[in-house]
């Protein structure tokens, strides 16, 4: 074979390779632009409207890989499946072929491990069990649904979601007013969603029960200024959460709402809160500061445990400050009858407008070292400081006129009690305190004798001053 023929054959071969490569490029480009086997996107076929993609994500849109099913009444569509090999972001349309899209069916996105972002429109009213199960690459959720039904504990909607990357950010749309119960709840701790950040709750009024429970990697939550109710167990075992800012609009904090938030260091109770459920802040073991501003809280004494059981046990101690808006410290606020679970409260500062300390308010706070009473305090309730065994000294303000039975019982180290007003004190075994026996003013003027009277000699009586 001559040299010229060899050259011609080589050129021909290279030309064929170039043509083949060009043909393949055109084929895949056309395939990418066309409609995939998984259905049609509302953007490409004109049958739907993508009017709520308000939190865009800069990756390829693979919404055309969705499958839809018309309901039996032929009034609405639901998303039933997706091509699990599709890689990118999905915006669920609010309408499809002229009908609203109202549902995300059970396991609709299960195993879509290349799905990076999802936008859920306002029209969605139901999200099925395991809908986003094993969407392990998920990092972004734009949630705009305004009327989704509450889930149940077995819904496992985001089972093992986001496990591949650094965590999921969820953005709640401006029209969302309620976050459904159990939205991110997974009972299996090994497969809980890797939720990292919650933002965009400007108009949310209600956080449903256990909505973010067991999200152990959740580090940041932005709660809007309109939130009214935080449901039972809403942030249960969110152990990476370091701070939560509760706005003045909050009126109700449910049972176990922040139970087990081990890294939470500061809590502020806003002034409009009227309900704090049992164990709401139990197990917040690194808590160091509580700012209490609520004016009308009632604590359920028979609830499932003390509100702050085991709080601060891994810290140097909690300082509790009652703000100027507070008139009454509620009964049972820091009560803990089981000594090993007592909150590690070391310092209490009672504001200048507090007039009453409720019964059992600090019962069992056995690490309490310092209490500073405001000048307006008039009443100290029954068993208010019962069992505060490390309390060494206190000053009883001149305005105090009632000290309840056993208010300082079992305060073994309390050896210095200074009464600013020693005149007119009496003791009685009757709570009515109509009449009683006088206590010596001279005896009460001696701080050590006053301590003995209050903790031992007359501790089982009601004290009052006329």
pLDDT given at position 466: 82
CB atoms near residue 431 (< 10 Å): 12
Phi, then psi, of 27 in degrees rounded to 5: -60, -50
DSSP one-letter string for 55-94: S--SS-B-GGGEEEEE-TTSS-EEEEEE-TT--EEEE--S
The CA-based angle 148-154-160, given to 5 degrees, is: 90
User: Which stretches of the chain score pLDDT less than 50?
Assistant: 4-5, 7-9, 11-14, 16-55, 304
Cα angle at 84 between 82 and 86, to 5 degrees?
90
The whole-number pLDDT of residue 56 equals 53
Buried/exposed 4-21: b ≥16 CB within 10 Å, e otherwise = eeeeeeeeeeeeeeeeee
97: CB partners within 8 A, 6+ apart: 47, 48, 68, 77
pTM of the model: 0.85
Distance of CA 25 to the CA centre of its chain: 51
Task: Tell me what pLDDT residue 301 has.
Answer: 59
Domains in the chain (CATH in brackets) are 36-149 (3.80.10.10), 163-283+296-308 (3.80.10.10), 317-466 (3.80.10.10)
Output the pLDDT for position 44.
37
Nearest C-alpha neighbor of 161 from the set 93, 112, 216, 220 = 112
Half-sphere exposure of 31 (CA within 13 A, CB side): 8
The DSSP string of 164-223 is: SSS-EEEEE-TT--EEPTTSS--S-GGG---EEEEE--TT--EE-TTTTTT-TT--EE--
């Amino acid at each position: 074979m001559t040299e010229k023929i060899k050259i011609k054959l080589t050129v021909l071969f290279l030309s064929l390779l170039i043509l083949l490569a060009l043909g393949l490029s055109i084929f895949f480009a056309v395939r990418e632009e066309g409609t995939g086997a998984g259905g049609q996107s509302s953007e490409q076929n004109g049958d739907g409207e993508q009017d709520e993609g308000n939190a865009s994500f800069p990756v390829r849109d693979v919404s055309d890989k969705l499958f839809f099913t018309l309901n039996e009444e032929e009034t609405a569509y639901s998303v039933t499946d997706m091509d699990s090999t599709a890689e990118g972001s999905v915006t669920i349309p609010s309408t499809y072929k002229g009908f609203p899209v109202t549902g995300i069916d059970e396991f609709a996105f299960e195993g879509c491990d290349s799905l990076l972002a999802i936008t859920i429109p306002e029209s969605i009213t139901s999200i099925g069990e395991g809908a986003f199960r094993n969407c392990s690459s998920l990092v972004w959720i734009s949630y705009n649904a305004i009327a989704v039904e509450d889930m149940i504990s077995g819904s496992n909607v985001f089972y093992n979601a986001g496990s591949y990357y650094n965590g999921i950010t969820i953005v709640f749309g401006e029209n969302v007013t309620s976050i459904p119960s159990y939205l991110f709840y997974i009972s299996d701790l090994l497969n809980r969603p890797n939720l990292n950040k919650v933002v965009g709750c400007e108009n949310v009024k209600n956080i449903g029960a256990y909505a973010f429970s067991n999200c152990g990697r959740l580090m940041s939550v932005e709660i809007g200024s309109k939130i009214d109710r935080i449901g039972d167990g809403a942030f249960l075992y969110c152990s990476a959460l370091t701070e939560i800012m509760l706005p003045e609009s909050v009126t109700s904090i449910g049972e176990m709402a922040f139970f087990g938030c081990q890294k939470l260091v500061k809590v502020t109770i806003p002034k409009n809160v009227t309900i704090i459920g049992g164990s709401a802040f139990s197990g917040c073991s690194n808590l160091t500061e509580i700012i209490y501003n609520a004016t009308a809280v009632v604590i359920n004494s028979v609830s499932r445990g003390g509100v702050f059981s085991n709080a601060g046990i891994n810290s140097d101690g909690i300082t509790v400050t009652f703000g100027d808006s507070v008139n009454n410290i509620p009964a049972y606020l820091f009560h803990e009858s089981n000594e090993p679970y007592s909150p590690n409260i070391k310092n209490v500062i009672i504001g200048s407008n507090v007039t009453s300390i409720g019964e059992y308010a600090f019962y069992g706070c056995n690490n309490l070292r310092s209490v500073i009473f405001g000048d307006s305090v008039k009443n100290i309730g029954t068993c208010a400081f019962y069992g505060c065994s490390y309390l060494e000294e206190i000053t009883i303000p001149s305005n105090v006129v009632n000290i309840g039975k056993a208010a300082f019982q079992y305060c073994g180290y309390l050896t210095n009690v200074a009464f600013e007003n020693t005149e007119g004190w009496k003791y009685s075994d009757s709570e009515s305190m109509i009449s009683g026996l006088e206590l010596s003013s001279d005896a009460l003027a001696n701080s050590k004798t006053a301590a003995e009277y209050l903790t031992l000699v007359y501790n089982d009586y009601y004290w009052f001053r006329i």
